[in-house]
Amino acid sequence: MEKKFRLQQSMRWYGPGDPVSLQDIAQSGCTHVVSALHAIPVGEIWPVEAIQKHIDQIKVAGLEWTVVESLPVHEDIKSQKEGFNTWIANYKKSLHNLAQCGLQVITYNFMPVLDWVRTDISYRLPNGSEALLFNRFDYAAFDLFMLRRPGAEKDYSPEEVKELSDYFKKMSEERKKYVFRNVLLGLPGSDVPFTPEQVLKLLDQYKDISRDQLKQNLIYFLQEIAPVAEELGLQLAIHPDDPPYSVLGLPRIMSTEQDIQNLMTAVPNKANGLCFCTGSLGARPDNDPVNMFKKWGSRAYFLHLRNTKRDENGHFMEANHLEGDTDMFAMMSEIVALMQQEQRAIPMRPDHGHKMLDDLGKTTYPGYSAIGRLKGLAELRGLEYAVHNIKS
């Protein structure tokens, strides 16, 4: 009987301080966790001892760690600031150490300064659960009137600046503080938010870097590390931009199918692959994640299966996993077909679940409460089971 290849089901774990424990994840039915060494400063080498200790903690719970999310890229690499090759050398050494310990997929992103951006991390839905939301008006008000980014007004028409000024004046002080805090949230796994001074200083580091230049910097980085990863048997998985367009005037270079095409053409090494995130790609109306996967699924080494819902004003929120703008049934059908065709299981995790039930009121990483992700995982597992049985 022909073997059926199925998704490698996992959840993200932020380490010993994560309110969602390894035991919680094991009870969900997952076999794996996706994790990282968040305590190590960005750019520093991940020692074998620290990696192995993390693996051992995970094994005690009966789980495996094969996907790193993420091995962060230092800002000096992205901007090619003087001395950046030292950070690339550190990155290569970390890859060697991870491979030595048996890790397989290395996730990263090339978003300058900020990782993913949301203006509301507890948007109340009609049923009382909470979702992540990107409100374009709140974001623009932050950009123009809270952060006061130099030159920000050039990114908006005079009419928009006037409308946004009126919008900002109507925001309550409490709302302003809430949006301000959310946009400046630190890197995933960190409880320390950015300060405006830090962000403005980092923005200055990119003031002369165009979108084309940032693309060239990414290509240079990958030309350096992809051969190393290939030799070590590792798969590199770049996460798309979130949101998939410019934020704070910064260029974003992994937002569209053309961006994927350009990167895969420039760095054709087999180790150069994708963390295919249906939510990030789906937040842009001119993207079609299902068709993008049809074309690039062979280079998808890790999947984030989540859904977003856009509106006509450019806002988007995290929808239920089987709802939103991406047809998840069509998506899963393509994934299942590819796994059988290529005879491989693809690591997957549900992403950005709603906060609900007993998790309401608890302190968790935004989007990473237990029950909402468990709901998403159950829906995705059921969907995969149904697709397999329809095809058989």
* CA distance linking residue 181 with residue 193, whole number of Å: 8
Catalytic residue among 275, 277, 315, 354: 277
* CA distance linking residue 136 with residue 60, whole number of Å: 44
* CA distance linking residue 127 with residue 131, whole number of Å: 11
Catalytic residue among 32, 54, 321, 352: 352
Q: Is 239 a catalytic residue?
A: yes
* CA distance linking residue 139 with residue 314, whole number of Å: 11
Catalytic residue among 18, 259, 351, 359: 351
3-class state of residue 27 by DSSP: helix
CA distances from 354 to 9, 17, 121, 307, 313 (A): 19, 21, 10, 11, 22
* CA distance linking residue 376 with residue 30, whole number of Å: 12
* CA distance linking residue 310 with residue 294, whole number of Å: 23
Q: CA angle at residue 322 from 318 to 325, to 5 degrees?
A: 60
Catalytic residue among 32, 239, 315, 354: 239
DSSP per-residue string spanning 298-347: GGEEEEEE-EEEE-TTS-EEEEPTTSSSS-HHHHHHHHHHHHHHHT-PPE
Beta bridge partners of 347: 8
Q: Is 123 a catalytic residue?
A: no
Cβ contacts of 50 within 8 Å, gap of 6 or more: 37, 40
Catalytic residue among 32, 54, 74, 304: 304
SS (H, E, C) 80-149: CCCCHHHHHHHHHHHHHHHHHCCCCEEEECCCCCCCCCCCEEEEECCCCCEEEEECHHHHHHHHHHHCCC
Q: Is 32 a catalytic residue?
A: no
Q: Is 315 a catalytic residue?
A: no
* CA distance linking residue 151 with residue 72, whole number of Å: 28
Amino acid 54 reads H
Catalytic residue among 14, 91, 301, 368: 368
Instruction: List, in sequence order, the alpha helices (H) in 171-304.
Output: 173-183, 196-205, 211-232, 257-266, 278-282, 289-296
The residues that are catalytic are 239, 277, 304, 351-352, 368
